[in-house]
Amino acid sequence: MKKKNEIPQIKNEEQYEALKDKGYSKQKAARIANTPNTSKKGGTSEKYENWTKQQLYEKALQVGIGGRSKMKKDELIRALRNN
């Protein structure tokens, strides 16, 4: 059994619960709620199509997408959108 300080924590509990209520899995809701800018709103990010392959790769690494090193740019975009 894990000790209390070893249990992963959710950075944005409210968003986590809202995502679970919408039907997201616990894992996906936690991944989204733990992203660095989770509490910020705005939608000012560029479209993935305007990102470089390296930027897409780094984002895929950040969110834990497996197999990213062999993906082409369009595959990285699809994986990030469907993650």
What's the total number of domains in the chain?
A: 2
30 and 55 housed in the same domain: no
Q: Could you please report the per-residue DSSP string of the chain?
A: ---GGGS---S-HHHHHHHHHTT--HHHHHHHHTSTTTT-----SPPGGGS-HHHHHHHHHHHT-TTGGG--HHHHHHHHHH-
Answer whether residue 2 is part of any domain.
Answer: no
Answer whether residue 4 is part of any domain.
Answer: no
For residue 16, the enclosing domain spans 10-37
Return d(Cα 22, Cα 77) in angstroms, integer. 23
Q: pTM, whole model, 2 decimals? A: 0.52
* pLDDT, tens digit (0-9, with 9 covering 90-100), for 15-56: 888 888 888 888 888 888 887 765 556 566 788 999 999 999
Answer whether residue 1 is part of any domain.
Answer: no
33 and 57 housed in the same domain: no
